[in-house]
Structure 1
């Protein structure tokens, strides 16, 4: 837990609002079709959460998993099972933070939007989920040679609007108080592209994303990443100054 202690000292000094992603694959097995099956083993997550409360560390939210929705990335978890596991996380949070007036939010699934999967998942988590998170990398791989034309093409940028629109409509029609967040987005996946996603031109993509997400009632937009890759918000070569791509 020493690294967790060190991180929380940093969080406290900076006033950071912390969302921590929990390993949602623990306890599952991967079948021959590439799906992760079985219930989530929450014991390790519960131990971390209890330790966090014992130490008095402030966590704004606990998020279950990373890119396991729909077809997943590497592997996937069925929506019904994921909903059951989210209920388990909600139960842990309610139990561990009993007596606290303000409790951390429960977030999930932190994956790419698949309408059928998200519909089932949200339908089965009406009271155990506060935030629905999804990821966006609408420019494709960072290795692509046409990133700049894509960034400057309104029709390409507008292509992701259907995702925002579909999720907004789904939440409005569902019996859930949960709101939508972009939990992770860096434009071009696999660490972006040097001299593109860490340059001024990338501001056009970022500002377009912020405006579009706001227009579809997205409550929070999280960038990938703070430090690292070619889309980091901090420039490690200039004493960690904020890059111009933050707008």
Structure 2
């Protein structure tokens, strides 16, 4: 739409919102959180917004990320396999991390200095929804975000990366006859064995009861 709100004005508005939330919900235990600004990440804008809003106003910093555009780029497959292009995505998260680190007190000392929640915006509609807009059948992305040493190997059917059918451990992920989501069963692998990852695939691995103090 091309519309935007200046960081200073947004900061002042969110202070008003925070005060309204406190007035309507005086009990801190049931008081809704105030999140923002939920826009495209721009370091200068975010810095100004947080400086104006001040401490104890924003409970969580949120932002949108569209490094791959609206999802209809014909060069998408090339880009997602290009490390140099993926580094641009990493830089966005790093930039947000640097800003949030300056406001740890108002954002909560419980934070581990990283992003706590990642949400998919669209269930259906647009070019990056979890469900196919026409058939309502889950797109491959749906299975990619639903995983719990168990191994889940995700790959495109017949190597057709832009296709609509995802293989999970060589089993096609398609709705059942009653249109239910198919069971997503893992491979049960001995934890002492190596993990083999095929080209153009994604693998999720869970090693049960694995203790790694360095990662705690």
User: TM-score range with shorter-chain normalisation?
Assistant: 0.5 to 0.7
Within the candidate set 110, 113, 121, 1:224 is matched to: 121
1:147 matched to which residue of 2?
76
Q: Give the length in aligned residue pairs.
A: 139
The unaligned stretches of length 5 or more in structure 2 are 145-216
**CA deviation map 1:126-174 (0-9, x unaligned):** 2111111111110135443211111222221121211111111111123
**1:169 partnered with 2:98:** yes
**1:235 partnered with 2:164:** no
1:136 matched to which residue of 2?
65
In 1, the alpha carbon distance for the partners of 2:121 and 2:141 equals: 12
Q: Higher Cα Rg: structure 1 or 2?
A: 2
Q: TM-score, normalised by structure 1?
A: 0.51
Q: How do 1:15-164 residues align onto structure 2 when only pairs under 5 Å count?
A: 74-99=2-27, 101-125=29-53, 126-164=55-93
Larger helix fraction of residues? 1
* Cα separation, partners in 2 of 1:178 and 1:241, compared to 1, 3 Å: farther
In 2, the alpha carbon distance for the partners of 1:129 and 1:216 equals: 16
**Contact 1:122 1:176 survives alignment (8 Å):** no
In 2, the alpha carbon distance for the partners of 1:216 and 1:137 equals: 22
**Contact 2:18 2:34 survives alignment (8 Å):** yes
How far residue 236 of structure 1 moved from its aligned partner, in angstroms, is 5.1
In 2, the alpha carbon distance for the partners of 1:226 and 1:88 equals: 31
The unaligned stretches of length 5 or more in structure 1 are 1-72, 180-214
**CA deviation map 1:91-141 (0-9, x unaligned):** 111111123622111111111111111111112222111111111110135
How far residue 243 of structure 1 moved from its aligned partner, in angstroms, is 2.8
